[in-house]
Amino acid sequence: PFIGLFGLYLLFKKDRRLAIYLSIWLITSYLIIAVFSIVLYPRYVNFIAMLLIVPATYAVTRVNKVLSRTLIIIYILFVGYFNYTILFDFKKIPFPEIDQGQYINGGNSGWGAQEIIEIAREKAKSKPVLILAEGDFGMSGDVLSVFVNENDRINIKGYWPLNKEALISQQKELASNQVLVVYIYKKSYEPDLPLKLIKRFPKPKGETSMDLFELMP
């Protein structure tokens, strides 16, 4: 984006009307997204970067050869590193902090989800498994369901909040199911919860984890 903004500056000096026209598109697009978004995640405005391709190209063609090549090399290195981390070391993807929380370190990231379903699948060989997942939309329940096969004897129920009352209300399911409980946001647990810890799956930064419990009678 910096090359594009630099190109927009150069274009403003050369053709003010065209630069203003492109700027209106950029600013209007951003404002519309900002108005309708509760949280303005960086990924929401990624498409705006496409509007900067024209001024970025203009910048590369207007500066001297040394600077032009330098800008191209910087761009290639940045894109190359980004793609490398996506393919080979996704813990280090250089997302902004707020997107790292969504994709890598936060509760919504799927760290441990596949392993939890593998544990549930093994347990389901002897008795069907019911998973009580913290979150009823777009959270752990949906993340876990991605890894469930059609013939698995695994059922997932999302709860929000997944508190003591919800746990007690589901103890009746123990008669016909093994009941597992998954928390993704809770950081401390009351000692009187009817739960037995099976395993914690820490996120890369170690600040949060996906916790798997067994519901006890």
**Average pLDDT of span 189-200:** 93
Report pLDDT for 71.
82
Topology given in CATH for the domain delimited by 107-215: D-Maltodextrin-Binding Protein; domain 2 (3.40.190)
Report pLDDT for 90.
82
pTM: 0.73
Provide the pLDDT confidence category of residue 106 given band limits of 50, 70 and 90. Answer: confident
Report pLDDT for 42.
82
CB within 8 Å of 90: residues ≥ 6 apart: 104
How does the average pLDDT of the chain come out, rounded? 88
Q: What burial letters (b/e) apply to 150-186, b meaning 16+ CB within 10 Å? A: eeebbbbebbeebeeeebeebeebbeebbbbbbbbbb
Instruction: Work out the angle at residue 82's Cα, subtended by the Cα atoms of residues 9 and 102, and round it to the nearest 5 degrees.
Output: 100
The answer, yes or no, to whether residue 138 has pLDDT greater than 70, is no
Cα 47 to chain centroid distance, Å, stands at 18
Parts of the chain belonging to CATH 3.40.190: 107-215
Report pLDDT for 171.
95
Task: Provide the residue type at 126 as one letter.
Answer: S
Q: Helices marked H in 37-112 — which ranges? A: 53-62, 65-88, 97-100
